[in-house]
Amino acid sequence: MARWAIAIHGGAGVDPNLPEHRQEEAKRVLARCLQVGVDLLRAGATALDVVEAVVRELETDPCFNSGRGSALTRAGTVEMEASIMDGRGRRCGAVSGVSTVKNPVSLARRVMDKSPHSYLAFDGAEHFAREQGLEVVDNSYFITEENIGMLKLAKEANSILFDYRIPLAGADTCSALAAATENLNSNGMVMNGLPISIYAPETVGCAVVDSDGFTAAATSTGGLMNKMTGRIGDSPLIGAGTYACGHCAVSCTGEGEAIIRSTLARDVAAVMEYKGLPLQEAVDFCVKERLDEGFAGLIAVSGTGEVAYGFNCTGMFRGCATEDGFMEVGIWE
């Protein structure tokens, strides 16, 4: 039998000045969701069932940007997206533009298992969710007071730019952004056009290999704060934000446009397959060589039970566990 392993994340790009109590809250949520996965794996659950269950837990908690607590569009609404992939046969399912489905990752699973397609979006995805009897809620369920305030700051910062790496230091910002701009000037970090002190992590995800050596990955997000309605990021795109095969399973997070351009998740598997690199070396290579000035991170497991992660920005909410008893939750290097 193979050794099982699990890795999870709650987004890359963390404000170095994030208050201690918020750091501890995030780590508690990660630890709880990680334990859900560990318990399922110990009970013999499949990798596919585990990644769906863990991401559902992350979607339900408003601590991260997926499901409840998702980032808001310019119109103040929520448009969520998710994907799931089974390393056995590389089956996959994905959804975008979901606005009422309580757990988008489960809708992505239904697209994979119960439809002839791999990807549904907007009205078609919503209609399919109702056909399948998935739980739906009003769009207001996903909106938090904190994110309403973050949207206001993002609009004042004019944050979503065609080139989201343009520094905001010279931009006209109101007094509410003074502290954020000061932080930007001091560390130079911008994520998706937002000073790191305003930017909220984009994504949650999970990658698993089970005791039979089968892999799976799932990723879910509310996208960018102040994004244009209809914007689609990397999270639902197989090969960009999510990938699973016999070599590994990968879930990515960060600047979606950079992840899309680099086909980051698939590239980890490709360098393992074609260059013969072990998992951590493959992750390090892709984070260093493939992002072209973009900021991102990823988690990964191999088909033999290794876990790995990498990021080129200030921190990534993450956790991992292996069958031999190792368990870790962290944010920084």
- Check if the beta carbon of residue 97 is closer than 8 Å to that of residue 107: no
255 assigned ligand-binding residue: yes
Q: Does residue 296 contact residue 264 with C-beta atoms inside 8 Å?
A: yes
Query: Rounded to 5 degrees, what are φ and ψ at 235?
Result: -55, -40
How are strands ordered across the β-sheet holding 327-330? 119-121, 91-98, 80-86, 215-221, 203-209, 5-12, 316-322, 327-330
319 annotated as a binding-site residue: no
Q: Tell me: is residue 231 an annotated ligand-binding position.
A: yes
The residue annotated as part of the active site, out of 73, 173, 181, 203, is 203
Q: 232 labelled as ligand-binding?
A: yes
What number of other Cβ atoms are within 10 A of residue 109's Cβ? 26
Q: How far is 62 from 38, CA to CA, in rounded Å?
A: 22
Q: Which residue has the tokens 């990964």?
A: 300
Q: 314 labelled as ligand-binding?
A: no
73 is in an annotated binding site: no
Give the other-Cβ count within 10 Å of 166's Cβ.
12
Do the annotations mark residue 234 as ligand-binding? yes
Asked about 77 being catalytic, the answer comes back as no
Is 315 assigned to a binding site?
no
Residue for token digits 């794996």? Answer: 41
For the annotated binding site for substrate, the residues are: 231-234, 253-256
In the annotated binding site, the residues are 231-234, 253-256
Q: Which residues are identified as catalytic?
A: 203
